[in-house]
Chain A
Amino acid sequence: MTSLVLGAILAAGAVLLTAMPFIQHADNLNAPLDGPTPEQERRIAVIEERDRALSALKELEFDHRTGKIDDTDYRTLVGPLRRTAADALRIIDEGAAKE
C-alpha cells in the first residue's frame, strides 16, 4: 500500500513538472521557440569569425614571443589575420549602426 501511494505521488509529481510550462503559460500556448533568426545566425557566424581571428592573433603573438615563429613568418601571417578581424568588426559595427 505504501509503495502504491509513493508511486502515485512520484507519478503525480512527474506529471506536474512536465505540465508546468502549459500551466504557467496557459495564455500563450502557441508561443514559438526563441531561436535565432536567419539574420542573427549570420551575425553569430560573423562574431565567431571575429573571435577566431582575434584569438588567432593572440596565438600568433604568443608563438612569436616564445620563438615558434620567426620575424619573417610573423610579418607574413599577421597582416591577413588583422584584415580578417577588422573586416568582421566592420560588419558587426555596420549591423549595429543599422539597428
Chain B
Amino acid sequence: MADLGRAALIVSFGLALWALVAGIAGAKANRRLLVDSARNALIACFVSTFVASAILASALVRHDFTFTYVASHTSHDLPTLYSLSAFWGGQEGSLLLWLLILSAYAAVTVTLNKRLLRDLIAWTVPVFAGIATFFSFILVAVSSPFVTQSRAVDGAGLTPSLQNPYMVAHPPMLYLGYVGLTVPFAFAAGALLSRQADERWLIATRRWTLLAWMFLGFGQLLGSHWAYVEVGWGGYYAWDPVENAALMPWLVATAFLHSVMIQERKGMLKIWNVVLVSLAFELSVFGTFLTRSGVINSIHSFAKSSIGPWFLVFVCITTIFSTTLILTRMPLLRARTKLESALSREATFLYNNLLLVALSLTILWGVLFPVLTQIFIGESKTIGRPYYDFFLRAFGLPLLLLMGIGPLIAWRRASVRSLLTTLRWPMSVAIIAGIGLVIAGAGSSYPGLIAYTFCAFVLTTIVVEVVRGTRATGSLTELVGRNRRRYGGYVVHFAIVMLAIGIAGSSAYGTTKEQFLNPGQTMTVAGYHVTYKKLEVEKGATSSETRAVLTFTGKATGTLKSGTNAYFADGSSSREVGIHTNWLRAEDLYVIFDQKQGGGVYFKVLVKPLVNLIWIAGIIFVIGSLVALWPDAREQKKLVARLALARA
C-alpha cells in the first residue's frame, strides 16, 4: 500500500501544480474554464491527499513495519489511539497532516464562495495551490512518509512523553489553527491580486479566521496542560521557542479579529489588516519551520531534519510575495475616512492592536535572538524567562485594562463625560477589589495585584454591558442573537480574565519548597502537611514505574503518588508528578519526585493557587468562540444581496 500512498502524493503534487499554473493563467487571461479547472484540481488534491493520509493511518493502526515511518514511531505494544496519534508524532506525518488540512480548508472555502466571489476566487485558488505545491513537493521529494524497508520485528515506539491523551488532541488542534490562518491570507491575497479591495473577502473568511484562532488558542492550552501534567517541572508555559511559535500568530490573529471590525464599520485600516493577515500566516509557517527544523533548541523539537532550509526558502518567498503585493496595491487600500477621536471604540482597538503586535514581535525577537547572536557574534545566546515575563506584564496588563475600557466606549466618538458615566461601576468595583486584595495580603506582588484589580474591572464591564444591553432590548436571548459576535467576544473576554487570574495566582502567589524526606518524615508547604510514606516499584509492560506514596493533611486531606517511569525501549525516563486538585480553591498541590538518595527522596512541592482557572478558561474560550463564529445566514444574505444589487 506504500506504493499507493506515494502515488496519491504524486497525484496531489501534480494537481496542486496544475491548480497553480492553470489558476494564474486563467485569472490573468480572464478564462473561466481554466479557473474552474484549477479550482477542481484543488478539490481533487484534497481527495488524493485524503487517500494518502488514510493509507498512512491504516499502516499505523495495523503496525505495518514495512513502512519506515510506522517502524520509527510505533511498536506492537502501543495502544491503537497512540498508534494513530503517531501520525503527527513525526515529521513526515506532520507535514502530511499540514497538506491534508490545507487542502480541506481550500476545497471547502473555495467551493462555498465559488459563485459569490468568482473574480476573487480566481486568484485565491493559485495562492492556496502555491502553498499546497510546496508541501506536496516536500512530501514527494524530501520527506516522504511512504519510504519502505524490510519488515521489522517491532518498531521503535512513540516518544514516552507523547503517549498522553493531550498529545492526541494538541498537535491536530495547533495544525488546524496554523493552517487555518492560510484561509484569510489566501483570500486577502486573492482580493489584492484581483484588485478587489472591497469587503467581500473579509465577510467570506471571518468565520474561518475565528475558527483557526479558536483552534490555535485551545490547542495551546491543551499543550500547556500536557506540559503541566506530563513534563513535570511544575509549570505550564516555559516560553519555549516552539510554544512561542504558536503564541505569536495567535496574538497577531487576535489583533486582526479586532481591527477587522474597524474596516467593516469605517472602511479604515485596510493596509493594516492585510499586513496582519500576512504576518499571521508567515508566523504560522515560521512556527512549523521552528518545530521541524531544529534550528533552535526546544523541548518540543521531536524531529530534527534537513527540511529546515526548504522551509526557510518558503518563508522568504511568501514574505517577499506578500510584501510586494501589499506595496503594489497600496493605492487600492487607502482609507477615505479618518479616526474621528482618540476616545472611541476604534481607537481602543487600535491601541490593543499595537500592544498585541508589539508583544508578538517582542516574542519573535526573543525566539530569534539565539540564531542572530550565533550569526553575528559566533556564540548563541538565549533570552530567558525574565525577558518574556517583563514584556508580558508591560504589554499584557494594559491589554487587560483596554479589554475593560473598549466595550464601554462608543464607536466614532465619546465624550469624557459619558465615558466617566459608563465607567463608574467598573472603576468602583476595581478600586474596592484592589483595596480588598491589599487587605487580604495580595499586595506581596504588584503585578499580581494590578492584574487582579484589572480583572475585577473587566468582569464588571462585561456584567454592565450585558445588563444594559438586556434592558435596552428586553431579552438576553434577543440581545445575544442580534450580535453573536459581540457577545461571543465578551464570553471570550471572560475566559481571558479567568486565564489572567489563573496565571497571576499560580505565578505571583504560588509557593515552592524543596526538601529531602525519609519515609515517615513530613514537610509543610502553604498550609499542606505532606508526609512521605513509602516507595513502590512496579514493572509495567513498557516501563519500570517508581512511585513515592505521600499523604497530606491541612487545607485538604488525601494520598497521592509521585515518581518516575524508566522506559525499556529507548532507556529514557519521565517524571510522573503527583497532583491533588482542591476545586474549592481551584488550587493544586503539585509534588515532583526529584531524586532518590538511599531510602529517602528529594521532593519539590508546589502549591499553585487558582491554576485550574486556566484550564476552565480554555472551555469558556471555546464556548465564546463558537457563539461568535456560529454561521449567520444574515451575513451570507447580505453578501448575496450586495452582489445582486450591484449586478442589477
Using a CB–CB distance below 8 Å, which chain A residues touch chain B? 2-4, 6-7, 10-11, 13-14, 17-22, 25, 28-36, 40-41, 43-45, 47-49, 51-52, 55-56, 59-60, 62-63, 65-70, 72-73, 76-77, 92, 96, 99
Contacts and interface: CB of A to CB of B under 8 A. Distances in A.
Contact of B33 (A7, A14, A21, A49): A21
Top-7 shortest CB links A-B: A35-B119, A7-B7, A21-B36, A3-B3, A3-B4, A43-B646, A66-B468
Given A19-B37, A99-B648, A10 B8 contact: yes
Q: Is the interface of B mostly helix, strand, loop or mixed?
A: helix
Contacts of B265: 52, 55-56, 59
B646 A36 contact: yes
Contact of B409 (A21, A30, A68, A96): A68
Contacts of B642: 44, 47-48, 51
Nearest to A35: B119
User: Interface range on chain B: under 10, 10 to 19, 20 to 34, or 35 or more?
Assistant: 35 or more
Interface of B: 1-4, 7-8, 11, 14-15, 18, 26-27, 30-33, 35-37, 40-41, 43-44, 47-48, 51, 118-119, 122, 194, 196, 198-200, 264-267, 408-415, 417-418, 421-422, 465, 468-469, 471-472, 638, 642-643, 645-648
Contact of A45 (B198, B266, B638): B198
Given A14-B48, A59-B265, A99-B648, A48 B11 contact: no
Given A32-B32, A70-B421, A11 B7 contact: yes
Contacts of A62: 469, 472
Given A11-B7, A33-B31, A44-B643, 17 more contacts: A7-B8, A7-B11, A13-B47, A14-B48, A19-B37, A22-B33, A33-B35, A36-B196, A47-B646, A48-B199, A62-B469, A67-B418, A67-B421, A69-B414, A70-B418, A70-B421, A77-B413
A76 to B, nearest CB: 8
Nearest to A40: B646
27 contacts: A2-B4, A3-B2, A3-B7, A6-B4, A7-B3, A13-B44, A14-B15, A14-B48, A17-B41, A18-B37, A25-B33, A31-B31, A32-B30, A33-B27, A33-B30, A35-B122, A36-B647, A44-B642, A44-B643, A60-B410, A66-B465, A66-B468, A67-B422, A68-B410, A68-B422, A70-B417, A72-B415
A21 B48 CA distance: 19
B410 A73 contact: yes
Contacts of A77: 412-413
Tell which of A60, A66, A67, A77 has the most Cβ of chain B within 10 Å.
Answer: A66
Contacts of B267: 48-49, 52
B33 A44 contact: no
Contacts of A60: 410-412
Contacts of B35: 33
A68 B414 CA distance: 8
A17 B42 CA distance: 10
Nearest to B467: A66
Nearest to B39: A21
A91 to B, nearest CB: 12
A57 to B, nearest CB: 11
Contacts of A25: 33
